[in-house]
Amino acid sequence: MSFATKTTTVPPFNLSSPAGTDIWRKPPSHDVFDAPSHPSPLQQHPLKSFQRARLTFSLPPANQLRQYDQAGLVLHFTKPGAEYGSLKDKWLKTGIEFYYGKPYVSTVGTDQWSDWSVLPLTPFAGNESRPSATIEARREKDPLGKSLWVYQIIKDESGKEVERIPLREVNWVFADEEGWNVGIGGYVARPTKEGGEALLDSEFPEGVEVEILDN
């Protein structure tokens, strides 16, 4: 059975972050969700209706970045009655993170605590160029059940999609959808203050594309 969907797009935007911001939860007690995002507050949708979200973004040239500088897509899962920022909310962030002198495609999934995976950014022309990527998170189903898959989308010079690089499968997102909402948007974070208080700027030239069920 197929269901009708609708696609909405948040217009293009730029976003800046001060130093000392992050989205990260690590035991025993570290729990931070203070990175700037757009829209603010994030656009909310019932999790049951979510199909996919995609955005394209660029960071400053890599030789201007510091450890853990990052930007990309954030999905924030909340349920009415649960306090924002408590262990009852969940989230996924995926994009580019600068790590020990190189930009990586980074994905962090947070159910109770955060875990993290990185892959080399492809393509990347060198540290004088701007790390850029198109990232998509989408609902998928196989014979074993439902999951959220995260992909890097590779485009040709005309903007046509030519390759879809699988980054991560996240299995807990749709395990319990009843009553949950998902806030969707772009984010930028500069966790370390080493190097001063300068802002980290990022550009989202195609905005945020979101596909949901058209109920």
Q: In this predicted model, what pLDDT tens digit does every residue of 104-119 receive, in sequence order?
A: 999 999 998 999 999 9
Helices (H), the chain: none
- Tens digit of each residue's pLDDT (9 = 90 or more) over 32-49: 999 999 999 999 999 999
Q: Spell out a b/e string for 14-47, using b for 16 or more CB atoms within 10 Å of the CB, else e.
A: ebebebebbbbbeeeeeebbebbbbbeebbebeb
> Where residue 84 falls among pLDDT bands split at 50, 70, 90?
low
**Hey, what are 130's tokens?**
């701007």
Evaluate if pTM is beyond 0.75.
yes
pLDDT for 173: 96
pLDDT digits (tens, 9 = 90+) for 148-168: 999 999 998 888 899 999 999
Query: Mean pLDDT score of the chain, rounded to an integer?
Result: 93
pLDDT in tens, 61-80: 999 999 999 999 999 999 98
Q: Which two tokens stand for residue 126?
A: 């060198």
Residue 181 has phi, psi (to 5 degrees) of: -115, 160
What CATH number should be reported for the domain whose range is 14-208? 2.60.120
φ/ψ region of 207 (left if φ > 0, alpha if ψ in -120 to 50, else beta) reads left
Segment 181-187 shows an average pLDDT of: 97
User: How far apart, in whole angstroms, are the C-alpha atoms of residue 43 and residue 40?
Assistant: 8
Rounded-to-integer distance, Cα 149 and Cα 129, Å: 28
Listed by start position, the domains of the chain span 14-208
